[in-house]
Amino acid sequence: MAWSFHGKAQLGGLLLSLLGWVCSCVTTVLPQWKTLNLELNEMETWIMGIWEVCMDQEEVATVCKAFESFLSLPQELQVARILMFHKIRWVFKRRLGLLGGTLEVSASATTLLPVSWVAHATIQHFWDDSIPDIIPRWEFGGALYLGWAAGIFLALGGLLLIFSACLGKEDVPSPLVADPTVPPSWAPVEESDGSFHLLPRPRNLVI
């Protein structure tokens, strides 16, 4: 059975929303929100996320330590932790149509906002002339790009759900389904074995 345009749009919205939800969850967990390479020791790379900070020593090990205090985080990471964690509670809503699409678009906003804020703060600190050049600068981590992708997928999925809901329900009448406003008419049909079976008579049949 061929899929209708309404069904394809709804399925596309659900798949994009699911993909965006997975990317968003991975972005929330990953520590690669910021990276810092020390010029004095190129073998060491510092990685900072919204939950922990890690030191990656090439060919040795990666040591991570969770943040002891929420208030010790930079402001952009505090907001990122609140928004990214809050969104996860809503993505389990099993609703479609306008409500589902609206929630997905809202989830996209709560994903793009913290990721973009962290990126903006990183750029500002990187180009801050008041910081001496000898001090290492934080740079973008891979989790930021995954977060942007998650936000875009969520936005597209939500818009497709809203679009499919606005299309309305497609009621395609079946030739084997009688109109409920018309009382059914039945006609006996004789088969070769002599038995009789009741079958619906087509409405357009003229006798």
pLDDT at 92: 43
* pTM score: 0.61
Q: Are 100 and 92 in contact, with CB atoms under 8 Å apart?
A: no
Q: Which helix (H) or strand (E) holds 164?
A: helix 142-167
Q: Are 203 and 179 in contact, with CB atoms under 8 Å apart?
A: yes
DSSP state of 171: -
Q: Are 97 and 165 in contact, with CB atoms under 8 Å apart?
A: yes
DSSP state of 2: P
Whole-number Å distance between alpha carbons of 50 and 70 = 9
Residue pLDDT, tens place only, 60-118: 788 888 988 888 888 888 888 888 875 544 434 444 567 778 888 888 999 999 999 99
Strand (E) positions, the chain? Answer: 34-37, 44-48, 52-57, 61-66, 139-140, 186-190, 196-200
Distance of CA 38 to the CA centre of its chain: 35
pLDDT at 14: 81
pLDDT at 136: 85
More confident residue, 39 or 24: 24
- Beta carbons within 8 Å of 26's beta carbon, 6+ residues apart: 143, 146, 150
Whole-number Å distance between alpha carbons of 120 and 114 = 10
- Partnered with residue 190 across adjacent β-strands are 196
Question: Judging by beta carbons within 10 Å of its beta carbon (0-12, 13-18, 19+), is residue 133 exposed, middle or buried?
Answer: exposed
Please give the full DSSP string across 122-162, using - where no structure is assigned: HHHHHT-TTS-TTS---EE-HHHHHHHHHHHHHHHHHHHHH
pLDDT at 152: 92
pLDDT at 87: 52
Residue pLDDT, tens place only, 132-173: 888 888 888 889 999 999 999 989 888 888 777 776 544 444
What is the side-by-side order of every strand in the sheet holding 52-57? Answer: 61-66, 52-57, 44-48, 34-37, 139-140
**Domains along the sequence of the chain with CATH:** 5-167 (1.20.140.150)
